[in-house]
Amino acid sequence: MIGAGPGDPGLLTRKAERILGLADVVFYDALVDRSILSLVKPGAELIPVGKRGGKPSPKQKEINKLLIQKARAGKVVARLKGGDPFVLGRGAEEALALVRRGVKIELVPGVTSAIAAPTYAGIPLTHRDFASSFSVITGQEDPAKTESGIDWKALASGKGTLVFLMGMANLDKITGNLTRAGLSPRTPVGIVENGTYPFQRTVIGDLQDISRRARKTGIKPPAVIIVGEVVRLREKMNWFEKKPLFGKKIVITRAREQASYLSELLQESGAWTLEFPTIEILGPRQCTSLDRAIGKISSFDWLVLTSPNGVRGLIGRMLDLDRDLRDLKGVKIAVIGPATRDELGWWGIKAEVMPARYYSKELPRAMGGKNIRGQRILLARSEQADPDLNRALRAAGAVVTEAICYRTARVKKVDPEVKKMVACGDFDGITFTSSSTVNNFMGIMGKPRAQRLLKGKLVAAIGEVTARALRENQVQAGIVARRPTIPDLAEAIIKHY
């Protein structure tokens, strides 16, 4: 039983992440962020069992039965519940059902929305000048009960903060019960919709007018209702909703293995990112040229690497062939861009040359221009690499040997739910980090539809080569990063907004 947290995937605990990577079957709630599901190991079975008010959803007994069946089949089963499983989440009911049938359980708490949503709205639940305690109350009691289990007079007579979960359908009843129990109609109330998400919305009022304000602004579930003097502190402590990319939905088309870095940079500035990988990184179709080059690698004067994938492809193959990285001793290394330099550094290898501008045409000059005449250069590249660098090196008089270290391909399996979200056009911007991401996006979505989707959206390209690929597909980049790096791309998007 795992708490998935309130929405922001960054609030998932490290223990929860580790267990998700071990699970054979994952039962998940409707409000669990899709990026959390990406942590599940390949081949694991994903079963949605989420409950949403007013919509068809599995009965609790059915969920319990399925959990027991999968566990008894010898599977490692993860039950992923939004927030914390035991804060008004029926986690205890499911756990007890498993225990009664002899199933061993492990319980992993999560960050509850009762705390996270107010915090992301700038509302602390306690402050020594306003409230020294808080209560979490269900806003939706079991309809089978003959009388309420909530002591409204006790809640109204206390000085603590009141937090109601799942209470939007009963907002009028909640405010009415509190005022009838003696709480002042002027008591501040805050409602946070989609707390911790970049499309979070907050409305502030008091007990006598919050229902009207909620209707006027169209606030809907999932929402957390906070009642108490601490709500007044939002005016000074509102932080999340002031981030530069707050409320912006941005699609990332980069390969799945590489998308997280750009996602993190944009999320730190408040964006909601949707990873829609259009390419995947694969090994070369055949390793003949690469193996031949590795066999005589110490004979080269220079090794040129143009991407982190090239570094991983080359070194990975060297290790596969049981070659020693010390074979590179005496070979000068040139790289394009800090990401390639840093990947090389991770292996304990230092690059001698990196051009100030991270473009292929700048590299021969950085390597010494005419001084590389006659030099033997190993160019480790992708199968789809632009030939410009090879031509530039040969034009400078170098003797160039190419070795294919990796290739990119259009993803074979596209997540249908993610594709549907993109096809609806419900996003503000989209990023492209290579020509391949552009061409594959066009292929996956269909060129005419892709062109329509991108019209009026912020289209961000990592560099001029990618921007050219967009123009070739009749799409104009609204942003081209100052330098072709992920941090520069993220910075350009932030500055735009």
- 445 among known catalytic residues: no
408 vs 410: CA distance, rounded Å? 7
* Prior bond of 222 cis (ω within 30°): yes
Q: How far is CA 276 from CA 62, 65, 254, in A?
A: 33, 34, 7
Distance CA 279, CA 437 (A): 6
Q: Distance between CA 432 and CA 489 in Å, rounded?
A: 9
Alpha helices in 321-434 (DSSP H): 338-346, 363-366, 388-395, 416-423
Where residue 217 falls (left for φ over 0; alpha for ψ -120 to 50; beta otherwise) is: alpha
DSSP string, 455-488: TTSEEEESSHHHHHHHHHTT---SEE-SSSSHHH
Instruction: Report CA dihedral (299, 344, 38, 97) to the nearest 10 degrees.
Output: 110
CA–CA separation, 488 and 286 (whole Å)? 35
Q: Are 49 and 26 in contact (CB under 8 A)?
A: no
- Of 29, 70, 168, 248, which is the active-site residue? 29
State the DSSP H helix or E strand holding residue 258, giving kind and residue range, or none if neither: helix 256-268
- Pairwise CA distance, residues 117 & 193, whole Å: 8
Contact predicate 418/34, CB 8 Å: yes
Q: Which of 8, 33, 81, 166 is catalytic?
A: 166
Query: Among this protein's residues, is 51 annotated catalytic?
Result: yes
* Spatial CA neighbour of 12 closest among 108, 136, 121, 123: 108
Structural tokens at position 48: 């949605």
Is 129 among the catalytic positions? no
DSSP string, 16-48: HHHHHTT-SEEEE-TTS-HHHHTTSPTT-EEEE
The sign of the dihedral angle between the CA atoms of 166, 88, 113, 230 is positive
Q: 407 pairs with which residues across the strands?
A: 282
C-alpha to C-alpha distances, 251 to 200, 262, 429, 445, nearest whole angstrom:
18, 10, 6, 14
Among 24, 51, 243, 428, the active-site one is 51
- Catalytic positions, please? 29, 51, 166
